Amino acid sequence: RKEVEQDPGPFNVPEGATVAFNCTYSNSASQSFFWYRQDCRKEPKLLMSVYSSGNEDGRFTAQLNRASQYISLLIRDSKLSDSATYLCAALYSSASKIIFGSGTRLSIRP
Amino acid sequence: ETGVTQSPTHLIKTRGQQVTLRCSSQSGHNTVSWYQQALGQGPQFIFQYYREEENGRGNFPPRFSGLQFPNYSSELNVNALELDDSALYLCASSLGTGQETQYFGPGTRLLVL
């Protein structure tokens, strides 16, 4: 079992829709979590950090459920420019490493 | 932009050769982490350098080695290249090794023939 797992998608949704991604992690020692956005042939860019139960930034909401060991990302009122791959990551500070999921592809159609 | 730079942007090597990739961290950041990202996969942690010392390592063989300099820039060296080493190599800098956010450079795309 991978340490961080994501649904690979692709998710294909119409503009304006709400879309949610889930990410599960296996190591309960994980302390911090991140959502990154990666455009094709580009580097990952930080979208949101999640340290406690959740975080909200405009149309984006991230939630953390430590009991069930999952993190979610909700995108409301999706825009064409939201089309990208979304990477979930868990930080294991004791080992000084970040483990990434394989990413979820999102495509927003007009 | 994150202020993290990497060179070269692209590289083509043949099996058995050696390669050195370079990374300059964001100003003020003392920690550099290196990742390998194969096509269709998430980045895989190779190792991290903090104040010129290796501070954590992923599941990569010893032919992957690194270095961090006093100005906190870093190198990734790969010896005896294999075809499966073809990937995007990303470095990320952060201030410290705890919960601090890592900021990625644009990556070096390596093709091994």
Cβ distance A62 to A73 under 8 Å? yes
For residue B7, the model assigns a pLDDT of: 96
The verdict on B41 touching A (C-beta cutoff 8 Å) is: yes
Contacts of B102 (CB under 8 A, 6+ apart): A46, A98, B33, B92, B93, B94
A32: region left, alpha or beta (phi > 0 left; psi from -120 to 50 alpha) = beta
pLDDT tens readout for residues B32-78: 999 999 998 999 999 999 989 998 899 999 999 999 999 999 999 99
Question: Which residue type is seen at B6?
Answer: Q
In Å, how far is A37's CA from the nearest CA of chain B? Answer: 11
Mean pLDDT on A11-19: 95
Determine phi and psi for A81, rounding to 5 degrees: -70, -5
Q: What are B72's two structure tokens?
A: 């906190």
The verdict on B39 touching A (C-beta cutoff 8 Å) is: no
The verdict on B70 touching A (C-beta cutoff 8 Å) is: no
Contact B99 A95 (CB under 8 A): no
Task: Give the closest of B2, B40, B99 to A91, CB-based.
Answer: B99
Cβ distance A108 to A78 under 8 Å? yes
Helix (H, G, I), strand (E, B) or coil at A82: helix
For residue B99, the model assigns a pLDDT of: 61
- Rounded CA-CA distance B93/A26 in Å is 25
In Å, how far is B72's CA from the nearest CA of chain A? Answer: 17
- Rounded CA-CA distance B16/B113 in Å is 10
- Rounded CA-CA distance B29/B51 in Å is 10
Task: Give the closest of B50, B102, B105 to A98, CB-based.
Answer: B102
The verdict on A95 touching B (C-beta cutoff 8 Å) is: yes
* DSSP single-letter state for residue A99: E
In Å, how far is A85's CA from the nearest CA of chain B? Answer: 10
For residue B98, the model assigns a pLDDT of: 66
CB < 8 Å to A87, chain B: 42-43
- Rounded CA-CA distance A105/A87 in Å is 9
Contact A46 B98 (CB under 8 A): no
| Alpha carbon separation from B20 to A76, B91, B106 (Å, rounded) | 43, 13, 16
The verdict on B50 touching A (C-beta cutoff 8 Å) is: yes
pLDDT tens readout for residues A26-66: 887 777 899 999 999 899 999 998 887 788 899 999 999 98
- Rounded CA-CA distance B74/B91 in Å is 9
